[in-house]
Structures are given as structure tokens and as C-alpha cells.
Structure 1
């Protein structure tokens, strides 16, 4: 994606992508945004925090199923429908919806993902009649591999350092087309729809806090907010300290890679994206770091308050509660919970 400049990301492009995502046959929804004070979550900072519940994003339903049908008629749901009730969502379906809408149907695609993008990629592949392969780090939960394979997509588990090598092999030897899971113009434009939804509910936020892995979501949200005229809004990305590729990229003023390790596997790609880095450098105030202990505590705190959020999805929350974001007193703050892709087998490893 190095040939695509940040200048290619315009407000018109993002508005067009917003309409594509809104009308996507993949069933992307406008997720709720609630005030922190409406929850039982602890907050020692005197500010007005709103939580964008992207962990409630729908991934996997071919048709919307109402809450009434789920709760009152569960016995009459098909086996396929029942299996999909557990498919908690993430923001990734937004970018995938725009990405696949701009690719030919029936293609043969390969990507790399620790889980959430792979799940959305697999669902879209099935819907559009495409063949797909997901190259996953061997550290990712096996349950995610099984879930992706259930959509008819092949999964190859490799060491994190070998992800890109295996993708390149698939492209060169098998003739597959690479769809990047975070360094892709169409994908980032699709993710920007999340930023536009935030502005529909809070037109001029003072601070927006977003998780950061390769930087696709952070770049899209930041571009949407800044290009919409919110010049004074401070936008922060949050990374695990064991997978701080964007933080290091900011320091070195170029995209860099590193050997990553974190409980938040979705935030631990081996390198920062080129286009995301350029956009983040232009629109993001800074990148703050959290550790795995803070992430683990955040998952437990959210769960005790009735919110199922995966380690990667709670990074922004962890940064706020641990005082990593400066000057929040009296401010209107948006905290994005970016995904809920965590199973019961994983939740037992978290205290409380």
C-alpha cells in the first residue's frame, strides 16, 4: 500500500464508503453509544465519557434476528442460527464490507489475521462466492481458526514472524490476491464509517480513544473526524507495550516492525501499516501504551458490568481507567470498545 498516499483519503471518499457500508448485504449495523454513567463501570475521572459498543457489531447473520426472537423462540431456531448466536462482532466487518464491494465476485483471496478480520473476511467470502485463505499466527486461539473454517475458508497457522512470507507464497505460487487486513485504502475508508457514526451522536468530541494494531481502525476514525471539521478533537491510539509498532513508528518517523507479543493478539501484527502510519501521523495526537496486566483487568471489569469485550477490544477502556490519556477533566470523551470476539474457554482465564 506504499503507493497510496494519505492525500487519497478525502471526505468525499469516506462519505461514499459510509453509504457502501450502510447498505452492505453483510448486515453492518449502527452500533449503540452509551454514556459511561449509564453503566456500573468505575470512573475516577470527572469527565463525560461515552462508550461506542462496537463489540455488539453483527457478523454472520444473513438476516437480522430480533432480540425477541432470540429470547422467546430459541427452541425453533435452526442449528445454523443457534451456532451464530455466539458470533460476537467487531469493527472489522465495516472495512471488509467496503473492501469486498470493490473487488470482483468469485475471486481467490488470501489475508493474514489473528481472528476478527479473518472472521469477517470468511463471512464475506462465503456471501460473495469467493475462495479464501486466512494465514493466522499460531498464538491465536484455536477456536477462532475453527470458526473461520466453518465458513469454508482455509486456515494456515504459522509463527507470527512468518505471516507475510506465507502470504507472499500464496500470491506467487498459487495466484491468489492479497487483501490486507489493515493497510488498504478501501478497508480504512470502510472503518471510517465508525468515526462518522460517533459524530452523529457527539458532533464535536473533545477526545476520542481508539485501539491500534496495524492502525487501520485508528487511521479511518481519525481521518473521518478530522476531515469532518473537528480540528480541536484530540485522538489517541492505544497499543500493548509488547506490540507497539505504531508507537515506535511515530518515534522513528516511518513504519517499523518488531517481534510482537501480547495477550491482545488482535493488536499485535508484526508491523505498522504504511498508509495507516501516514494518516495517523497526520491526524492522531499520540499513541499511548498499556501492559497485559492492565488489559486483563479491563476485560474482567467490563465483564462484571455485563460487557463482553475481548482483550484487543478493551485497549481504549484500559488506557482511560489507568490514566494514560492526558487532560480529560471536564471533557467529552469517546471510548471505542472495538470487539467482543472472546469465547467462554478464554474468559475463564480472566480473574473475577
Structure 2
């Protein structure tokens, strides 16, 4: 964020906000404050949002309380707030995420994770291709459900130290939670399932400690609830954001076979144009002023990033550690997404993507619920070299 612009009232923002998909956030009596990004685009901070005030009181929205004052850098007060709410990460999430991982997993973040993700994606896309070649009609696959979700879930489970006995249950929960349903009954079932996994993981790591983050948390937190609140931040942030970015990345893969050489540029461009995080909830820990609007300590503020990083040059944005959203899992996410793109690139030349992808029904994320892909039927499939032997 470079400079604050004028304070706008709701009605003056409607046309642009409607195009940006932000209208649900503008039914408010409070001011909408326009701020400028470095590439000249606009984002908004919405204050006085009645629904937001109510939502911030619900336990499932606790993550909106973590990082403090709107549009300012971290302060000692914010650090103290973080320590109270995340006691397991008291020395800061950035340091804890890195020191809480085993040496082998730290090496994976830098080198091996990308290759393993590439192999996993290649295996899944090859299976989809064999299915399509065995039939007479094009095989319609869902690249989100068939490729992105299981690959990210397995990698995240390994990163977070999920033991073998819980891997299938953890993956099933990740798949269910990826649907992002708004039904209260479904949300309650998902929460109960997650707490069950947390209780088992905490017991397992208490009895069988390892050099990983769950062991660190289990040794320092006195209840399963505290353990779950710490762990859910890592799981939901790591899984949801990476799946959202991965789906957009697969949709952006070129079909001419050039993806492998262009992965670094393609990844950065996709994160800039389709950042997985579109808004962040913050609580002011000290009085502050935005564009002439007073915000008192304790007031909830919704930061909405409507068009981050769409300029021709590189610009800070909210995806994976850039701009206002500092992400301790950025190295892991980028390594995984790199492997995802490399692994899917060879298959992308045979994909036909009908315009039937469905997006999340939320302004929080730009993720895709589904990404259908037609694979060539048998008559048009390239010959399998093994069949000529």
C-alpha cells in the first residue's frame, strides 16, 4: 500500500465494487475507505460493518483477531495480542514455522517438495489419461478434486507431521473442507471432525514426540482446544490458499507445451492476477486514522484487496508473503505450486477446458471449486510406447 486516498461513502463505490464482486461487503452504515496500491489500482478498507462485528465474535473467525492495526506495521501491542491468542507461536509464526520443522522437511521446502509434487501430479494426470484412452468418449475430469486437492492435502499432512495412521482421515477432512459449504450443519460436522483429528494428533505426539510442529505445540499447550486453535490456522491457511492458487495455476497453463520453461513467470503472474486471499480481517490495537476516519482501539476492520497486482510491473499483493498478508508458509507453498505446474505441464497439451469452472461463493478467496477438463478420447490419444513392445 502506498498512499491513502479519499474516504468514500458506500454509494460511490458501488459500480466498481460490483464488478470486483465486493457488493456483499458494502451493505454497511460505516465508511468505505479507498486506498491505493503501488500499481495505481484501488483496494478498500471497510469499517463499521455490522455483520463483520458479529462475525468477529464467533470462534471460527478467530484468525481475524491476530495481526492488529489496519494499514500499519506490527507493533509491540500487536505482538502481545498474538502471543495471548497463539501461545504455541509466542516467538512469532515466521520463526516458529521454520524452526518447528524437521531438517528433512526444511530441505524439502527448498528442494525436494517440488519434485515430489511433480511426481504426484504426473501420476494422477497419467491415470486420467489412461481412463480417457480406454473409452470412446472424452473423459471429463475435475482437476481440482482429482489433482490439486489430494496432492496439497498429502504434502500438507507431511509438512505438519500427521502420522501415517491419521493420513487418510486428514486427507478426507481436507477434501470435505475444500468444498467451503456455508451450511451450519455441515460446518459443525467439519469442525467436530477436525477436533477429533486434533485430539488424536495431540495424543500421538505426546506419546511419540518428533522433530515437528505438532510435537512443539503438544508439549506447550495445556488443552486440545488451544492445540486446535493453533493448528487450524496452519491447516486452513496452508491448505485453502494453496488449493486456490493451484487451481488458478492449472487453468493458466499454456496448451502448447511451453509451460515447463515458463513456470516461474507463470506462477508469479498467476499469484498477482488471482491471489488466493482477497481480504483480511483485522482488529485495531491502538487508535488510528484512515483517510480522515477515526478508528478506535478494538474496532474490527475489513481490508478488501479488490485488484491487487494487476499493473504491468511487479507490485506487492496479498498472496504468499507479499504486501499486507505476511505468510510464514510462503516457501512451502511456492515449492508445492512449482511442482504442481511442472507435473501437470505435459498433460496440459491434451486438456480441453470448457468454460464450466465453478468458483467459491465468497469474496474471501479466488479459489475454484471445480475445474473440468476434457481428455482426448481413444481415437485421438497419442500411442502408448509400451503397447508397441
Give the structure-2-normalised TM-score. 0.29
Q: Which has the higher contact order (CA 8 A, sep 6+)?
A: 2
Give the structure-1-normalised TM-score. 0.31
